[in-house]
């Protein structure tokens, strides 16, 4: 059977990424041009600046992806690109570039939903993984529990009612003076804190849905009322609180779906 080589282009936010993948599971190259240092001084991603930087980077990133994969455009079977959701201007750069490649090379063009791409990434990380399984999606703008019934058949069991978890981390980090991006900076600071020194409220939401606005507001109010509060203790309490929400709901989802497969166990995936 002939190997299928796909070039994937991703420009949904602030990183220009091009990857070459064989047979949907093996990465031949994965090149990313990040804009974190550019947006850091603004405290978050500025859409117009992101778009301009995608335009500047995309050709070189594509060239590098081909070099690392050690292939030519002639060996590519199809061009795939993220068409949404994401920043409109940033997406436009990737989609336009992919369309141009598809037309000039006479290769099929495959539009990919950003969220479907998150799910499919699990097949690359865990090469023996196959549906059905549960997927906990925790990207910057989305927090969902998805029941993957088959390779292209999904059911959303729960989702955030307000902020996504990534947004909550970024907003909390900005308020307590850590800057952007919030996730890794809060996690690093939390390693210096003591759990239990700061008590934060638990947010209760119906069914398998999430709400991170309340916990975010609680952290912000605490910091405003007491600017001298131990930020490391605040960070670990916030991180533990949201982790408990995620674990609680995904555990419920496992019980509801009663999924029993030969897929890797949690221990295998986490390396424990």
Across 139-158, average pLDDT: 91
Q: Which CATH superfamily is domain 131-264 in?
A: ATPase, nucleotide binding domain (3.30.420.40)
Residue 148 has pLDDT above 90, yes or no: yes
pTM of the model: 0.83
Residue 266 has pLDDT above 80, yes or no: no
149-163 residues labelled b (16+ CB within 10 A) or e (exposed): eeeeebeebbbbebb
How confident is the model at residue 181, as a pLDDT?
A: 86
List where CATH 3.30.420.40 sits in the chain.
5-125, 131-264
Residue 145 has pLDDT above 50, yes or no: yes
The Cα–Cα gap between 198 and 163 comes to 22
Across 24-33, average pLDDT: 96
Angle at 157 between CA 8 and CA 257, to 5 degrees: 105
How confident is the model at residue 271, as a pLDDT?
A: 47
Q: Span 5-125: which CATH code? A: 3.30.420.40
Model confidence pLDDT, tens digit, residues 72-85: 999 999 999 999 99
Residue 272 has pLDDT above 60, yes or no: no
Residue 86 has pLDDT above 50, yes or no: yes
Residue 21 has pLDDT above 50, yes or no: yes
pLDDT class for 206, splitting at 50, 70, 90? confident
The Cα–Cα gap between 258 and 248 comes to 15
Across 180-198, average pLDDT: 92
How confident is the model at residue 269, as a pLDDT?
A: 44
Cα–Cα distance list, 257 to 56, 112, 140, 146 (Å): 46, 27, 26, 11
Across 187-209, average pLDDT: 88
* pLDDT, mean over the chain: 91
pLDDT class for 14, splitting at 50, 70, 90? very high
Residue 270 has pLDDT above 50, yes or no: no
How confident is the model at residue 262, as a pLDDT?
A: 54
Angle at 51 between CA 59 and CA 63, to 5 degrees: 10
6-10, 218-222, 263-267: least confident range: 263-267
């Amino acid at each position: 059977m002939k190997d299928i080589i796909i070039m994937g282009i991703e420009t949904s936010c602030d990183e220009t990424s091009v990857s070459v993948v064989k047979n949907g599971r093996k990465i031949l190259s994965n090149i990313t041009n990040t804009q974190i240092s550019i947006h850091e001084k603004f405290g978050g991603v500025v859409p117009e600046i992101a778009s301009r930087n995608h335009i500047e980077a995309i050709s070189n990133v594509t060239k590098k992806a081909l070099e690392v994969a050690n292939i030519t455009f002639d060996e590519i079977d199809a061009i795939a690109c993220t068409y949404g959701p994401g920043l409109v201007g940033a997406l436009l750069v990737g989609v336009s570039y992919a369309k141009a490649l598809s037309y000039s090379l006479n290769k099929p063009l495959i539009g990919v939903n950003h969220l479907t791409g998150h799910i499919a990434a699990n097949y690359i990380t865990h090469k023996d993984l196959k549906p059905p399984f549960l997927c906990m999606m925790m990207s910057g703008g989305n927090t969902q529990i998805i029941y993957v019934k088959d390779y292209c058949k999904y059911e959303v069991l729960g989702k955030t009612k307000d902020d996504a978890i990534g947004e909550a981390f970024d907003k909390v980090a900005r308020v307590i003076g850590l800057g952007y991006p919030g996730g890794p900076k809060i996690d690093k600071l939390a390693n210096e804190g003591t759990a239990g020194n700061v008590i934060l409220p638990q947010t209760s939401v119906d069914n398998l849905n999430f709400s991170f606005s309340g916990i975010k507001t609680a952290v912000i109010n605490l910091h405003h009322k007491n600017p001298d509060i131990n930020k490391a203790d605040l960070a670990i309490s916030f991180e533990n609180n949201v982790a408990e929400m995620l674990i609680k709901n995904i555990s419920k989802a496992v019980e509801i779906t009663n999924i029993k497969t030969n897929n890797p166990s949690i221990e295998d995936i986490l390396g424990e």
